[in-house]
Copies of this chain bind each other. A is one copy, B any other.
């Protein structure tokens, strides 16, 4: 027996179709959805990721400005750039790309992104609003994991879901998204004792710990649905996840793999959200103040 693969491509395609529908709706309104990516690193894998955003924006007919401040940018430069983008009403979505230069306070910067433009879910206020059930964008990777689960109709309501990882970019927002879908959620992390006791008892396991090979077949049962959100690089320079695929595939019921899973969905989700934010800006400007 081998796990069914929950690949990201069909999910991304659906999101792209949703984006195209939004863009069509915007035609003739004079509003062109625009995304701004603030960058302050010469990290090569970040450059690669930003290029893929630019490429997909072009395909989606979303304008994309890359505001590259260079790897030497300081707090004030970043702050000024974000404040200008916050005020610029032609910009609908803002991404503050990590990593940021050493010594910069990322949380202070993220808090400068207005919630309605925070399409990457970086502002802590977005997470608080998400928890409160108010309109807000969840951190993109967390949402992408849920999009994959929902696309493949994996039941969540009433199910026990274990999330491995408690970061602001995956674990914490994901727990809120799952609770909102009536899952019982266990959050595990590096200090968790007996990880397997939690994962074995769950019907869904999402692993976002950043540790290659962390989750093995011995941690699962034959009904386990596993979503791998890890992004690690092996000795050969290849992208690998947190799942030990060789042992997990024969045991689990389904696996969203790395590469080809959640990561494939995130860029499409950013475009969809930018087009949504553009539509909402239209609605907001049509309403009396």
Contacts and interface: CB of A to CB of B under 8 A. Distances in A.
Contacts of A191: 157-158, 182, 184
Interface residues of A, number: 35
Nearest to A125: B125
Contacts of A224: none
A225 to B, nearest CB: 16
Interface string A122-156: 01111111011110000000000000000000000
A179 B201 CA distance: 20
Given A186-B184, A186-B186, A198-B184, A132 B193 contact: no
A179 B166 contact: yes
Contacts of A133: 107
Interface centre among A127, A168, A188 (most CB of B within 10 A): A127
A187 B175 contact: yes
A244 interface: no
A192 B168 CA distance: 25
B184 A193 contact: yes
A172 interface: yes
Given A107-B132, A125-B128, A128-B126, A184 B175 contact: no
A63 interface: no
Given A184-B193, A186-B186, A127 B134 contact: no
A189 B182 CA distance: 8
A185 interface: yes
A134 B124 contact: yes
A128 B123 contact: yes
Contacts of A189: 179, 182, 184
A157 B185 CA distance: 18
A29 interface: no
Interface centre among A126, A187, A197, A198 (most CB of B within 10 A): A187
Contacts of A166: 179
A255 to B, nearest CB: 23
Contact of A127 (B128, B175, B182, B201): B128
21 contacts: A107-B133, A107-B134, A124-B125, A124-B128, A124-B129, A125-B128, A125-B129, A127-B132, A128-B131, A158-B193, A175-B175, A182-B189, A182-B191, A184-B186, A184-B187, A184-B188, A184-B192, A185-B186, A185-B187, A197-B201, A201-B201
Interface of A: 107, 123-129, 131-134, 157-160, 166, 168, 172, 175-176, 179, 182, 184-189, 191-193, 197-198, 201
The 10 closest A-B pairs by CB, nearest first: A128-B128, A124-B128, A124-B132, A182-B191, A186-B186, A127-B128, A184-B192, A125-B125, A125-B128, A124-B129
